[in-house]
């Protein structure tokens, strides 16, 4: 589903991602982990077309990506952001948020699709015409996930989707993401610094440090404390979980 080869991303003259290569199989859940500033969110932005100052190659499926994204491509790739409040327009209802992608792409049966998606993410239909400030954090993140799924994408880019939530709500959202992946055959690329989240949701992980990929490993190695890079082992020790 994803093939990244020799990716470099620049902010001005500064390289923040440096010669990174990895691949993600169709239906797989892959995590990029590392401290703040390691370049993991920048890689997501390059894949989503939110930054264009990059070199190397990116392919989704068998389609190489240029620096501009077409509407057809965006139907295949959607993103869920960390900030569940900031990612939703404060003056637009849940219905507005969910129907806007359909309007942009000329897709009909809006009522049916909105109600079906509310059911899919476990959000009661009574919330359909509420504003973001009338929802809890977990409910807002369910709306954000529903919006990302409205176009029936194959790939979801998840930028720390639970880190701004309470611990009990985090578990609910992680269970939701896990079940949606199984039900819909989705591929996930997750960015996080939270290794227990990776352990629960992912199959493999890549460890980033200062914009460089230190190693790629199966989650079984993470659970066993058997990462091979010094920095990977340091992250595990800091997590105090495994």
* Domain coordinates in residue numbering, the chain: 1-70+190-242
Q: How many whole angstroms separate alpha carbon 75 and alpha carbon 155? A: 9
Q: Regarding the domain with residue range 1-70+190-242, which homologous superfamily does it belong to in the CATH classification? A: P-loop containing nucleotide triphosphate hydrolases (3.40.50.300)
Residue 242: which pLDDT band, with cuts at 50, 70 and 90? very low
Q: Please answer whether residues 28 and 180 qualify as being in contact, where contact means their C-beta atoms are separated by less than 8 angstroms.
A: no
The confidence band for 184, taking pLDDT boundaries of 50, 70 and 90, is: very high
CA dihedral (72, 75, 80, 86) in degrees, to 10, reads 70
Between 125 and 64, the more confident residue is: 125
**pLDDT digits over 8-59, tens only?**
999 998 999 999 999 999 999 999 999 888 999 999 999 988 898 999 999 9
pLDDT higher at 146 or 168: 146
Q: How confident is the model at residue 202 (pLDDT cuts 50, 70, 90)?
A: very high
The Cβ of residue 28 has, within 10 Å, a number of other Cβ atoms equal to 17
Identify the bridge partners of residue 187 per DSSP, sorted by sequence position.
Answer: 155
The token pair that represents 57 in the structure block: 């190659």
* Element spanning 231, H or E: helix 230-239
- Other beta carbons within 10 angstroms of residue 224's beta carbon come to 12
Does the pLDDT value for residue 167 go beyond 60? yes
Among the residues of 150-187, which ranges form H helices?
167-184
pTM: 0.93
**DSSP assignment of 141-166, as one string?**
HHHHHHHHHTT--SEEEEESTTTTS-
Q: Classify 153 as helix, strand or coil.
A: coil
Give the whole-angstrom CA distance, residue 124 versus residue 135: 11
**Which one, of 74, 59, 30, 27, lies nearest residue 190 by Cα?**
30
- 164/186 Cα distance (integer angstroms): 23
Contacts of 171 (CB under 8 A, 6+ apart): none
Residue 156: DSSP 8-state: E
**Average pLDDT of the chain to the nearest whole number:** 92
Residue 133 · residue 127 · CB < 8 Å: no
- Say how far apart CA 45 and CA 9 lie, in whole Å: 10
Cα 199 versus chain centre, distance: 16
What's the CA gap between 122 and 116, in Å, rounded? 10
């Amino acid at each position: 589903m994803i093939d990244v080869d020799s990716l470099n991303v620049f902010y001005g003259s500064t390289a923040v991602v440096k010669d990174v290569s990895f691949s993600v199989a169709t239906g797989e859940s892959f995590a990029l982990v590392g401290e703040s500033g390691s370049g993991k969110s920048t890689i997501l932005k390059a894949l989503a077309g939110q930054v264009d100052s990059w070199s190397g190659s990116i392919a989704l499926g068998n389609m190489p990506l240029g620096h501009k994204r077409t509407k057809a491509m965006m139907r295949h790739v959607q993103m869920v952001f960390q900030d569940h409040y900031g990612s939703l327009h404060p003056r637009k209802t849940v219905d507005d948020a969910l129907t806007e992608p359909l309007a942009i792409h000329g897709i009909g049966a809006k009522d049916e699709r909105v109600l079906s998606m509310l059911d899919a993410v476990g959000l009661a239909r009574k919330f359909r015409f509420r504003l973001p400030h009338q929802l809890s954090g977990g409910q807002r993140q369910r709306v954000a996930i529903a919006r990302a799924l409205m176009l029936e994408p194959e790939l979801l880019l998840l930028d720390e989707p639970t880190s701004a939530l309470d611990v009990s709500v985090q578990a609910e959202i992680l269970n939701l993401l896990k079940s949606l992946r199984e039900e819909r055959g989705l591929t996930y690329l997750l960015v996080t610094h939270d290794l227990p989240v990776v352990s629960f949701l992912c199959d493999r992980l890549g460890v980033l440090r200062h914009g460089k990929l230190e190693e790629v490993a199966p989650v079984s190695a993470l659970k066993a404390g058997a990462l091979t890079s010094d920095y990977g082992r340091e992250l595990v020790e800091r997590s105090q979980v495994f």
